Homo-oligomer: A and B are copies of this chain.
Amino acid sequence: MSSPESNVDVLIVGAGPAGMMMATWMARCGIKTRIVDKRGTKVFPHRSKKQNQWLTKQIFNGQADGLQCRTLEIFDSFGFADRAWLEANHMVEICFWNPDASGRIVRSGRIPDTIPGISRFQQVVLNQGRIERFFLDMIEKESDIRVERGTLPTALHLDESKVEDSDAYPITVTLRHLSEEEATPTQAATSTNGVTVQDGLFRSNLAPDDTAEILRAAAAKARGEGLDAKADTTEVVHAKYMLGADGAHSWVRRELGFALEGESTDYIWGVLDIVPITDFPDIRSRCAIHSAESGSVMVIPRENKLVRLYIQVTTTEKLDDGSAGSRVDRSRITPDVILKSAQKILAPYTLTYRTLDWWTAYQIGQRVGTHFSASERIFLAGDAVHTHSPKAGQGMNVSMQDTFNLGWKIASVIKGTAGRSILKSYEVERSSIAHDLIKFDHKFSRLFSGRPAKDVMDEEGISLDEFKEAFSKGNMFASGIAVNYGPSVIVAKPLESNGVNGSNGSNGVNRANGANGIDASKKVHSTQDLATGIKVGMRMPSVKVLNQSDARPWHFQERLTSNGTWRVAIFAGDLSRTDRKTALATLGVALAAPTSFLRRFTPKGGRYDSVIEVLTVHAGHRADLDLFDFPEVLRPHDEIDGWDYNKIFVDDVSYHEGHGEAYKNYGIDAAKGAVVVIRPDQYVSYVGSIADYGSLDRFFSGFMIPQQ
């Protein structure tokens, strides 16, 4: 019997954070999508302490990560940041502990964990299971997309002759469906205090990939026991686009023949998630603790009284079997081994626990993929293209941000509003970030795993000043706010400007120059000076403005929801000035013309703001103007809903929440104004003059497809 065949617009392999973020975009944009994951239902038998019964519990209760403030901004654009914010532990302060002259650890400093002022959110910590739940709720609420678990791809073919054909399904994938039992990997469990505790070693880089094991188990079962109707069937799926978000052992990446390049170190770290019983006074702060001779601990306070400890395991010589490049014998790392290391580092403070929630161990290493896509049809994201140590709290964030960058681009191309040229920007933008990430992680890990310097003459040791300086710089990178995308058809900035303001290194620039796809004759030039606080290539910063119609304060970013829409933000300036009023009226006429880019790129019958939304922020006093003082194109009329009251805002003082000082914070002169183009992912494409309608039109014409 031949396998059933079907078509889908997007096939996502892997339902971790990167795959879920992709599915969320597809749900929002109404794209026909399937998402599969080789593992079965996420439940794990777990002995309840209170009732002494076996209960099922979501697996991966470890896998916590910090959520960067940028990640929370992204969650908010999808409408669920509040859930994360409420449930998470807020990580407010970092404390540094180092040996004093006598070798005893003492608190050597405190700094804020999130740099004040860079975002309306601060870094928080929450376990991955809850974050996946928020994604799932969102996807189920807004679409028919459902995660298909126990399903894995076994064959992949890309028809290169069809990759530029927008109607084609050039990707053919064979999917195999396993029974639930087959899809559940055998997991190690550790007994502690009489309670069985799941460990995370099966996902650690100390463990081999389990895909082959899952398939062997399925085949054996099929031979021996027969199958139920659902189990171990195959089907063939034809897809327009595909995402491999299937982790560090990515099957998709290997099928494409792409490699990860990089190196491992000898440093072994253990992770314990415990409810600590300790007289160490800073256990609820993030701490970087360097002992004189016993290694380092990082403390990450979590939700529900838990604390995560990253602990340098100083007994590697005993664990290693001695052969060069060999992996450590994982069976010899136990919670007790890790705890004993922690106790040595924290002495004379005491540390013990009665509740162990999860634990794992890993070897530090950093690797980046050679390619992020095959012909801009099959893309890789997350651990499939970059792996590094978990301690910096970056992995989940960078992975989700990969697909946050990619999702709206693929959706626009599938919907026919944008051309395929924008897809090249994914690799340009994200490989640069991945290289920055592993450089950051490499430096950070070395500093953190190294021995503290005994004095200024101790050149092999890490000095406290060196560490603190690196930590502070790292904090800006780790916030996710420093991301600064290079020039492309969707980022109108000079080639040489890249990397000046932000974190992008040379990798990004080199790739950008080769792949940005900009036609010099159509080049659009930003005028960055008109809005010095809104950097082209970086995410739109947020300050509060008031709705003109009802005086409600909004963070401007709250109006930039993730629905696939581009925004043109018109900072109209002070409209009590005749020149500003005239300039706005002139722009209004151009925007309202039947030939304007607003009209040309919006599908017939589509809502006026479905492809490009125009938002206006004027300076001055809200009470001096009414909605009807603005050109109609800025507050469009709908025959069912009347006027649109959610497009015009003002930079004025609120009744209850102070003054956002938007013009001041954005560096815009109210006597001049500015126009800003913002991508669907909140990154700034262009800054220019209100008088320059031509550049706006040329910008959108560079990649958008005219509609009938």
What residues of chain A have their CB less than 8 Å away from a CB belonging to chain B? Answer: 82, 86, 89-93, 110, 112, 114, 116, 122, 275-279, 281, 283-285, 301, 305, 354-355, 547, 549-553, 623, 626-628, 639-643, 645, 654-656
Contact = CB atoms under 8 A, between A and B. Distances in A.
Contacts of A122: 656
A92 B550 contact: yes
Nearest to A352: B642
Contacts of A110: 623
A643 to B, nearest CB: 8
Q: Which 7 interchain pairs have the tightest Cβ spacing?
A: A277-B642, A112-B655, A284-B550, A281-B626, A284-B549, A92-B551, A93-B551
Contacts of A301: 550
A82 B86 contact: yes
B275 A642 contact: yes
Contact of A112 (B92, B549, B656): B656
Given A82-B82, A283-B549, 5 more contacts: A92-B654, A92-B655, A110-B623, A275-B642, A283-B645
B285 A551 contact: yes
A550 B112 contact: no
A24 to B, nearest CB: 18
Nearest to A118: B656
Nearest to A639: B354
B552 A92 contact: yes
Contacts of A628: 279, 281
Contacts of A627: 281
Contact of A655 (B89, B116, B623, B655): B116
A640 B356 CA distance: 11
27 contacts: A82-B82, A82-B86, A89-B550, A90-B552, A91-B550, A92-B551, A92-B655, A93-B550, A93-B551, A112-B655, A114-B655, A275-B641, A275-B642, A276-B642, A277-B641, A277-B642, A277-B643, A283-B549, A283-B645, A284-B547, A284-B549, A285-B549, A285-B550, A301-B550, A305-B641, A305-B642, A354-B640
Contacts of A276: 642
A607 to B, nearest CB: 14
Nearest to A92: B551
A684 B570 CA distance: 50
A518 B277 CA distance: 45
B116 A355 contact: no
Contact of A278 (B114, B552, B642): B642
A305 B281 CA distance: 52
A202 B89 CA distance: 48
Contacts of A305: 641-642
Nearest to A546: B92
A250 to B, nearest CB: 37
Contact of A284 (B90, B283, B645): B645
Nearest to A548: B284
A681 B93 CA distance: 32
A52 to B, nearest CB: 15
Select the residue from A628, A639, A656 with max chain B CB neighbours within 10 A: A656
Contacts of A656: 92, 112, 114, 116, 122
Select the residue from A552, A553, A623 with max chain B CB neighbours within 10 A: A552
Select the residue from A93, A112, A114, A623 with max chain B CB neighbours within 10 A: A93
Given A92-B551, A301-B550, A656-B112, A640 B285 contact: no
A552 B303 CA distance: 13
A77 to B, nearest CB: 14
A551 to B, nearest CB: 4
Given A82-B82, A284-B645, A275 B640 contact: yes
Contacts of A640: 275, 354-355
B93 A655 contact: yes
A124 to B, nearest CB: 10
Contacts of A654: 92
A666 B327 CA distance: 61
A91 B355 CA distance: 47
A109 to B, nearest CB: 11
Contacts of A626: 281
Contacts of A92: 550-553, 654-656
Nearest to A553: B92
A460 to B, nearest CB: 33
A123 to B, nearest CB: 10
A442 B305 CA distance: 52
Contacts of A112: 655-656
A467 to B, nearest CB: 20
Contacts of A547: 284
Nearest to A305: B641
A668 B639 CA distance: 58
Select the residue from A116, A283, A642 with max chain B CB neighbours within 10 A: A642
A147 to B, nearest CB: 23
Nearest to A623: B110
A654 B656 CA distance: 20
A623 B282 CA distance: 11
A642 B354 CA distance: 9
Contacts of A90: 550, 552
A654 B547 CA distance: 29
Contacts of A278: 642
Contacts of A82: 82, 86
Contacts of A551: 92-93, 285
Contacts of A281: 626-628
Contacts of A552: 90, 92
Contacts of A91: 550
Contacts of A86: 82
A640 B643 CA distance: 60
A283 B644 CA distance: 12
A116 B654 CA distance: 10
Contacts of A641: 275, 277, 305, 355
A90 B639 CA distance: 25
A551 B642 CA distance: 48
A559 B255 CA distance: 54
A557 to B, nearest CB: 15
A639 to B, nearest CB: 7
A84 to B, nearest CB: 12
A547 B355 CA distance: 24
